[in-house]
Every structure is written in C-alpha cells, then in structure tokens.
C-alpha cells in the first residue's frame, strides 16, 4: 500500500516538474531574440535590388497612386515565401487619404499599404533604408497595387514624410542619389514638397 502511494506521488511530482519545465522553456523561447515572437522594432537592415528612378517625374509616372496620407494603424501582415522557400511576414499599414494627386482614391477613404516586416525567426528588418511606418505619421506616398488589394511603395524612395522622426524623403542617402537628389532641403518644407510633387506629376504626363 505504501509503495503504491509512493509510486503515485512520484508520478504526480514528475508531471508537475515536466509542466514547470515546459512553462519555463516556453517563456525562454518567446522572450529570446529571433523567436516566433515578432520584434517590435527592426533589428537589422539589408540591401536589395530595386527599380531605380533618376528624377521626381520618373517615380511619379511609375506610380498608380500618389497621395498625401496619415498612418492610422499598423499590424502584422501576411506570411509569404521567396527564393529558396524562406518565409517572411509583412507589416500592414493603414493610411487615411488626405489628398490625392494621382489615382482614384478620395479624401477620407482608407487604404492598406504593405511594407517589409519580419523574417522566419520573427526578427524585424528594413530594406534599402526604408524605415517602418508609425501611427500618426503624415506624408506623401508613391504607390502601386499588390496582390490581395494592398499597396506597396515604389521602392525605397517612395515616401516623403512631413511629420515624425524621419521628416523628408525615405531611403539611403536620398540627397545623394535617386529621384530626390538635390531636392532634400526643399522636401523638408511641406509647401515646397507640394510644389515638387505637382510639378513631377505634370511633367510625367507629357
């Protein structure tokens, strides 16, 4: 009788220990960098091939939609595979349209933009210096439709922010290369940005 009770007690204690170990391991896995817990900020930057634009009218011409908009929400997007089967998860960015320069979207409507997000390990990353969007930011966006009804920016230079920490054009050293070369000082003034964009769209239709 005593031996049977001891055996049952041993099993119960062993099960409790196993459950405790599982909880500890789960907490460790979810808390470590690179786990399936998606990082809240990008932890690495990578360079990739992209379409190049030499001037404002070139990027305006290639865009299906050019708008001034405000970021109202961000969220985890879709998971997809590229190249050798590596999985990536995008970020969804909801934009409220404040003004349309090219395209059919109207004031007050909302669209969903998609940007780079996380790798298969949940590590956040950015490509070619195009930083993640943040709620409350306002700016000008050069966009084209993607599969699934979302929009994507026209490369790393496809955004000019007028508020937030990254005011001005996006991308690596936009003052030295790309469509905004030589214009970055103007693009820090909201009134000047509007002039540059209207001129670019006008010339792109010639």
Instruction: Identify the CATH number of the domain defined by range 44-204.
Output: 2.40.50.120
Q: 113 and 152 in contact (C-beta within 8 Å)?
A: yes
pLDDT at 153 over 60: yes
Q: pLDDT tens, 29-87?
A: 333 344 457 899 999 999 988 888 999 999 999 999 999 999 999 999 999 887 777 89
Choose between 1 and 151: higher pLDDT.
151
pLDDT at 8 over 50: no
Q: What span, in angstroms and rounded, lies between the C-alpha atoms of 139 and 146?
A: 20
Phi, psi of 60 (to 5 degrees): -65, -40
Q: What span, in angstroms and rounded, lies between the C-alpha atoms of 31 and 204?
A: 49
Q: 143 and 113 in contact (C-beta within 8 Å)?
A: yes
* Every domain of the chain and the residues it spans: 44-204
Q: pLDDT tens, 91-145?
A: 999 999 999 999 988 888 999 999 999 999 999 999 999 999 999 999 999 999 9
Burial 160-191, CB ≥16 within 10 A → b, else e: bbbeeebbbbbbeebeeebbbbebeeebeeee
Q: 113 and 146 in contact (C-beta within 8 Å)?
A: no
pLDDT for 36: 53
Q: What is residue 37's DSSP assignment?
A: S
**Mean pLDDT lowest among 60-69, 156-165, 186-195:** 186-195
pLDDT at 24 over 90: no
Q: 145 and 66 in contact (C-beta within 8 Å)?
A: no
């Amino acid at each position: 009788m005593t031996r049977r009770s001891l055996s049952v007690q041993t099993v119960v204690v062993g099960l409790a220990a196993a459950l405790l170990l599982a909880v500890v391991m789960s907490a460790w896995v979810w808390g470590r960098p690179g786990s399936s817990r998606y990082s809240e900020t990008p932890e690495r930057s990578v360079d990739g091939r992209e379409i190049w634009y030499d001037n404002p009218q070139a990027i305006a011409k290639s865009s299906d939609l050019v708008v001034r908009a405000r970021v109202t929400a961000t969220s985890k997007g879709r998971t997809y595979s590229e190249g050798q089967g590596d999985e990536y998860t995008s970020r969804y960015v909801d934009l409220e349209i404040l003004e349309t320069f090219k395209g059919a979207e109207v004031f007050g409507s909302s669209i969903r933009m998609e940007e780079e997000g996380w790798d298969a390990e949940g590590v956040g990353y950015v490509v070619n210096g195009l930083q993640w969007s943040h709620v409350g930011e306002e700016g000008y966006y050069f966009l084209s439709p993607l599969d699934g009804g979302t929009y994507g920016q026209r490369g790393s230079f496809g955004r000019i922010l007028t508020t937030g920490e990254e005011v001005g054009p996006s991308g690596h050293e936009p003052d030295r290369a790309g469509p905004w070369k030589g214009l970055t000082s103007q693009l820090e003034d909201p009134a000047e940005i509007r002039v540059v964009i209207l001129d670019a769209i006008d010339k792109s239709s010639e």
